[in-house]
Amino acid sequence: MPTPAASEFTRFFRADDIGALECQAARYVDYSFAPHFHEEYVVNTLLDGVQSYAYQGGQYRAGRGALVLVNPGAVHTGEAGSDGGWAYCGYFPSVTLMRQLAEQLTGRPTEPFFRDTVVVDPDLSVRLARLHHLLRHSDDRLLRESWLHAVLGDVVARHMLGHAPQAVQARHNVERVRQMLADRLADNLSLTELAAVVGLSPYHLNRSFRAAYGLPPIAWRNQLRLVRGRALLGQGVPAGEVASRLGFADQPHFTRAFRQALGITPAAYQQGLGVAPRRALTGS
């Protein structure tokens, strides 16, 4: 049954008692997502409407019943592909969780990788929607965990490779810069400083980094700050402290960036997760 027309919304919840997994239910009509990425995999099933998005140099459309699959670190966008917008339920399974599922299926260490980004799999679409309901509303851990392994296990078995194609592997020097940015998110690093570390000119570093990761270093760092900020908010860290830890100019700067990326404020995100921000520690 199609989802009835409704106002835009987005809701998050976690199922960490059975796996490192964040889930989302959302409807968007006018909202569009700027280029961004996630450290986790993305597994969405479209419940209504049409989504359009850019991914890995291509433009894609997904309609009701289709799966949208995105690999960790892959830059993508998101916008309505029809007048009515689009609605979906989605999952952000951690790299660790998907590796575990892949190893259970293959019997060896495996780096799972989505072959395609839009997949028509009616059986999995229905089961992903059912799993979403169970994870949110059921207290039966055996039932929830059984469904999680069965459904996400089939996602891995049907639609993922054993490893990423060699063409998507970053060059060593660009990977070193990516790791520096990840390790020093709050630091005010310059492009010249980063380029000097790996023996490139700032111009060539910018081009090489974008070719490898889909965003230039500054945009990639800003997106990772939001990814890490989301995790800290989920742990109950106050938004002001998150902003300070991750190098944002101030809390309003963090709030604006977070809302632009996710369509929701940090306070609303924490409220949706049922997380109460803890009090900031004061000095004696």
pLDDT at 161 over 80: no
The answer to whether 231 and 14 are in contact (CB under 8 A) is no
Place of tokens 């968007």: 28
Please give the residue that has the higher pLDDT: either 90 or 5.
Answer: 90
Over residues 83-87, the mean pLDDT reads: 95
Q: Give the pLDDT confidence of 168-197 residue by residue, as tens digits.
A: 434 678 889 999 999 999 999 989 899 999
Place of tokens 């945009």: 219
Angstrom distance (rounded) from CA 40 to CA 77: 16
The answer to whether 135 and 15 are in contact (CB under 8 A) is yes
The answer to whether 40 and 91 are in contact (CB under 8 A) is no
Instruction: Please state, for a pLDDT cut of 90, what percent of the chain lies above it.
Output: 73
The answer to whether 213 and 170 are in contact (CB under 8 A) is yes
Angstrom distance (rounded) from CA 64 to CA 2: 8
Place of tokens 């929701």: 264
Over residues 252-278, the mean pLDDT reads: 93
Name the DSSP class of 279: P
Question: Which of 130-144, 168-182, 262-276 shows the lowest per-residue confidence on average (mean pLDDT)?
Answer: 168-182
Name the DSSP class of 65: T
The answer to whether 30 and 80 are in contact (CB under 8 A) is yes
Q: Give the pLDDT confidence of 102-125 residue by residue, as tens digits.
A: 988 888 888 899 999 999 999 999
Nearest to 19 by CA among 83, 96, 84: 96
